[in-house]
Each structure stands twice: as structure tokens, then as C-alpha cells.
Amino acid sequence: MSLSSFTQYAPLDLYSPSDWAELFALCAKAVETEDNTQVQKWLEEYSNTQGFLEPTQWDVNHIINESLCFMGKFAENWHDNLNNATKAAACNNTQAVV
């Protein structure tokens, strides 16, 4: 996906892909440390910037869970892509191409 196609889902003048990556990293850290304070702050800033309601504790927990599910699925897909490319290359006696 190019940066321009990303903008149809999240306007770049508000939040960039690296901003969302920061949220995902904060969510992972929240699970590791059992402290979701930084996720709460990030979501509050986002809500204030967008003019939305403040996030509830349920919202924070939900976002943490959703981000971990998304990252888990991403990791699974990437692993499967590499595994399939490796198997295909072995069958064809060529280098794996993902």
C-alpha cells in the first residue's frame, strides 16, 4: 500500500502511519508491563484532536486487544507467505520470492 492509498483511511494531516505504529507499540508494551497508561494518553490525544468523546477504560482495553489481534494476524500472514514461497521455490529449484 502506498502512502497515498493510506490517506483514504486516515488523513495524513491528522495521523501518519508512524503515529498508528506508535499506538501498536504502546499496546504491545501495555500488555508486557500490565500498564495501559500510555495507550490511554495516546487515545485521549487522538480523541481531543478529532473532537471525539474521551475514551473509556473499555475503549482502551478493546483497542489493546484489537491491535494485538491485528499484529498476530499480520505475523501469521507474513510467516505463511514466507513458508509458501520457500516451498514453491524448493519444488521449482528456484529462489524464494515473497
CA distance 75 to 53: 32
- Establish if 59 belongs to a structural domain: yes
CA dihedral 8, 19, 31, 45 (to 10 degrees): -100
End-to-end CA separation in angstroms for the chain = 15
- Is the pLDDT at 43 greater than 70, yes or no? yes
Q: Is residue 78 part of a domain?
A: no
Domain enclosing residue 10, as ranges: 3-72
> Is there a domain that residue 82 lies in?
no
Indicate the pTM of the whole model: 0.75
Residue 11: per-residue pLDDT: 57
pLDDT at position 48 over 80: yes
Kindly give, in sequence order, each residue whose CB lies less than 8 Å from that of residue 13, ignoring residues fewer than 6 positions away: none
Q: Band the pLDDT of 1: cuts 50, 70, 90.
A: very low
Give the count of domains, the chain.
1
- Residue 83 falls inside a structural domain: no
- Whether 29 is in a domain gets the answer yes
* 86 within domain boundaries: no
Please indicate, yes or no, if residue 98 is contained in any of the structural domains: no
Q: What is the mean pLDDT of residues 33-55?
A: 95
Whether 8 maps to a domain, the answer reads yes
